[in-house]
Structure 1
Amino acid sequence: MKSLEFSKDLIKFIDESPVSYYAVQNAADILREKGFHELKENEKWEIRPSGRYFVVRDGTALFAVDLGEDLRDGFDIIGSHTESPTFKLKSKAEIGAHGYLKLNVEAYGGMIYSTWLDRTLSLAGKVVYEKDGRLSSSLINIDRDLLTIPNAAIHMNRTVNKDFAINPQDNLYPLVKTIKEKAEADGFIQNLLADELKVEACDIIDYDLALYDRQKGAIINDMYQVGRIDNLGSVHSSLRAFVDSKSTKTNCLILNDSEEIGSRTRTGAFSPFLKDCLNRLILATGLTEEDYYIAIDNSYLISADQAHAIHPNFAQFSDPTNEVRMNEGLVIKIAANGAYTSSIETKARIIKIARDLGVNIQTFHNRNDKQGGSTIGPIAAATLGIKSIDVGEPILAMHSIRELGGVEDHYQAYQIYKRFYEED
């Protein structure tokens, strides 16, 4: 599969993954198709030599392993995160005001607010409901044009192109429809979910729903544009590399949730999910706790999250000697403040892989007067003591509702990750 076809496959994956629940479900389906067997955290793990397994936690985090001959040789891991900035529906979300039904939402992660305006939106997530006297849950995607957040006319907001600041409490309610009476707003979400799930509205117990953009991804010459590239782009390239690789060593994939809000959840990188999975594998294969620590010291983690390409219209935002360009290769991210884990030891391995493949590697540093983000890499390195590097594909408009990536970069990331998994 060459670069253009690979980016089209990415767009398909993202279009079918409006929220993290669907990203993990789709990843699990790909793993099953490739012969991976699902393990449950609340069951005893029966592990076969050279087996292929995966575990899902709470529907939004996933760990997968392709077992090698001796786990004490270490785990080669690629990690990324499944969610992106969005708006989540609050409880009692319906508001009837001024002849409209609108919904109460709160921001999840740091997005560019203005990019969510004047777009066709919908809702997706998870719903818990009562069925036959028991609690059940289902994923739900309202697969139709449902919502929009309209701008105020420039005639009423003359500073919109100058210094107007969007207030997330006052200005970002998504509109559903016009109504005559406030009472028409009552129970809208309950009834909407009940209709989709074919249950009674009174049986809906709770929901976790987020907004997403209805516009499909697109190829623009040698670039691709779609939402949630940060970080489903890394999920896609690492997942495809993981299932396509053939190796006698132990390879792992970790997909965490909650990175955009600090990772401090049951499914985030600060949780014991990765550590517990690695430790259980050691014990299930007849090894000891001492063997676990040996394996960890022999392990290596690629923290795969997206990187900032230089913007031709805002070139002053980039470091003067580390200019990152789109379609010129995977990026190693470096930060003296520890926001990234790349070190002289861990960088060498990835640089050599790229050289062996004949592809380019770039380096990213923040300007000294800009504070960038961080990733799951420093968390894994600090909590597990594992050697780690931070890399990413260069993109523009990070945290916009639609981001922009390079076709060649995405395929080269896949090539590097696949070689990483396959090398001895």
Structure 2
Amino acid sequence: MEKELQELLQFIKDAPSPFHTVETAGKMLQNAGFVQLDMTTKWELAPGGRYFVTVYDSSLLAFALGEKPGPLRLAAAHTDFPCFRIKPHASINKEEHGLLNVEKYGGLILRTWLDRPLGLAGKVVLRSEDVFKPDTQLVNFDRPLLTIPSLAIHMDREVNKEGKLNPQTDMLPLAVMENEEFSESFFTDWLSEELEKEDPEDILAYELSAYPFEEGCLCGLYKSFISSPRLDNLTSVLACLKGIMAAEPKEMSGLRLIALFDNEEIGSGTKQGAGSTVLNQVLERIYSSLGQKREDLWADIASGFMLSVDVAHALHPSHAGKHDPSNQPLMGGGIVLKQAAAQTYAGDAEAIAIIRGLCESHEIPCQSFVNRSDVRGGSTLGSIASTLVPIRTMDIGVPMLAMHSAREVMHKDDQLALNKLLITFMSN
């Protein structure tokens, strides 16, 4: 048990941006014997093979091919998480302080980001000899670089009553003071030094995220809880990876595939998101490479099954009235089956029955979540992906508190249950 939990915390540490999530996942898959493919070249696949492919550096699909035809089983999760993204021309010189201009990515709880040490990670794109192939570098500076200081209560006596924050004026990270290495473009100058580039003009673009630098940990009187950044949705990403790595082609038939999409937190409608045709394209390329027809794929989709894996809301002990009166999942109570009549969560009666049956037969605890009827709930990628690939789908995840906070909280037993379900789902 302790090993699996430390594995989760290390995975979260190694994945401070979607690009690093994919990079870390790729290394795990290669160590497990998966062969990397390229979306820009022809695929030559064989039954019994295990493969993966990355999509624009921030999404990844991995699959295992059985020795003979059989069921199609998919699982999907997302690699992104709420954070602050650094804007272009980010240096702001104000009152002898150097601040960074940032924008929200996803639905953050702004106040939880105040007064924390923040790191920077993502990608930087540099000038090269071929304009259509610039030099792209993944970076994680792996040290606290920024902080967003709150205003002292002595100067804002109503902060505990109101506490509203403006993301453009109240959430700019502090980076330097004027008496330090300071210029009108201090951030680009600093970035150039870090990358050992003589000319800052060689930096053409970047996609950098500020992230909570403090690592995750076990907490509680009996170390029952996990407190960490990015539990949404790296818990699910890791479980999907463990599931596909446990799928042994010699012991299975058919196709097992995981899709780790970017941009779920902003609606999935991107070329690397669940709202793109990339899953459909990959499935078609697999079937075509194996000499099967499109009709074979449609038939397998019609009889197949997909798990959409994302975190769920646990009952908050201080705010029980915010929850549905008869569906109140608890931390430590196992996998949550997320349901919504509006289909913001994917699922139907048969899908629920299948996952409940799978959990019962393998002694995996499970429970249900439904929103209050007078509260607008969230959504995830399951309904979007299953619209483009019309396969029976069930939305599931681990129950947690403080979703979209800079640090979220879950029960350690639920991650073990999720790992077990994904391994069982992919292996049978």
Partner of 2:81: 84
Question: Superposition pairs for residues 264-283 of structure 1, below 5 Å?
Answer: 264-283=269-288
Which TM-score applies when normalising by structure 1? 0.96
Partner of 1:238: 240
Q: CA deviation at 1:191?
A: 2.3
8 Å Cα contact 1:130-1:204 kept in structure 2: yes
**Distance in 2 (alpha carbons) for counterparts of 1:363 and 1:49:** 38
**Distance in 2 (alpha carbons) for counterparts of 1:131 and 1:382:** 40
8 Å Cα contact 1:74-1:297 kept in structure 2: no
**Distance in 2 (alpha carbons) for counterparts of 1:347 and 1:70:** 28
Mark the runs of 5 or more structure 2 residues left unpaired by the alignment. Answer: none
* TM-superposition CA deviations, 1:87-113 (whole Å, max 9, x none): 101111000001100000000000100
Q: CA deviation at 1:245?
A: 3.3
Partner of 1:331: 336
Deviating runs (4+, > 3 A) in structure 1? 131-134
* TM-superposition CA deviations, 1:117-157 (whole Å, max 9, x none): 00000211100112466621110111222100000011111
Q: CA deviation at 1:202?
A: 2.5
**Distance in 2 (alpha carbons) for counterparts of 1:162 and 1:67:** 57
Partner of 1:177: 176
8 Å Cα contact 1:95-1:185 kept in structure 2: no
* TM-superposition CA deviations, 1:287-309 (whole Å, max 9, x none): 11111211211221100000000
Q: CA deviation at 1:69?
A: 3.2
Report % sequence identity: 37
Partner of 1:157: 156
**Distance in 1 (alpha carbons) for counterparts of 2:391 and 2:183:** 52
SS at 1:152 equivalent = coil
**Distance in 2 (alpha carbons) for counterparts of 1:298 and 1:150:** 54
**Distance in 2 (alpha carbons) for counterparts of 1:258 and 1:141:** 20
- Code of the residue aligned with 1:406 in structure 2: it is H
Partner of 2:313: 308
Residues 215 and 193 of structure 1, relative CA distance in 2, 3 Å threshold: same
- Code of the residue aligned with 2:166 in structure 1: it is N
**Distance in 2 (alpha carbons) for counterparts of 1:133 and 1:37:** 28
Which stretch shifts more, 309-318 or 260-269?
309-318
8 Å Cα contact 2:106-2:265 kept in structure 1: yes
Partner of 2:207: 208
Partner of 2:193: 195
**Distance in 1 (alpha carbons) for counterparts of 2:4 and 2:349:** 31
* TM-superposition CA deviations, 1:48-86 (whole Å, max 9, x none): 221101010111000011011345x34201100000000
Q: CA deviation at 1:323?
A: 1.4
Partner of 1:248: 252
**Distance in 2 (alpha carbons) for counterparts of 1:191 and 1:269:** 36
Question: Superposition pairs for residues 283-322 of structure 1, below 5 Å?
Answer: 283-322=288-327
| RMSD (Å) for aligned C-alpha atoms | 1.4
8 Å Cα contact 2:339-2:346 kept in structure 1: yes
**Distance in 2 (alpha carbons) for counterparts of 1:145 and 1:360:** 39
**Distance in 1 (alpha carbons) for counterparts of 2:303 and 2:359:** 21
Partner of 1:347: 352
Question: Superposition pairs for residues 338-377 of structure 1, below 5 Å?
Answer: 338-377=343-382
Q: Is the aligned partner of 1:50 residue 2:52?
A: no
SS at 1:91 equivalent = strand
Mark the runs of 5 or more structure 1 residues left unpaired by the alignment. Answer: none
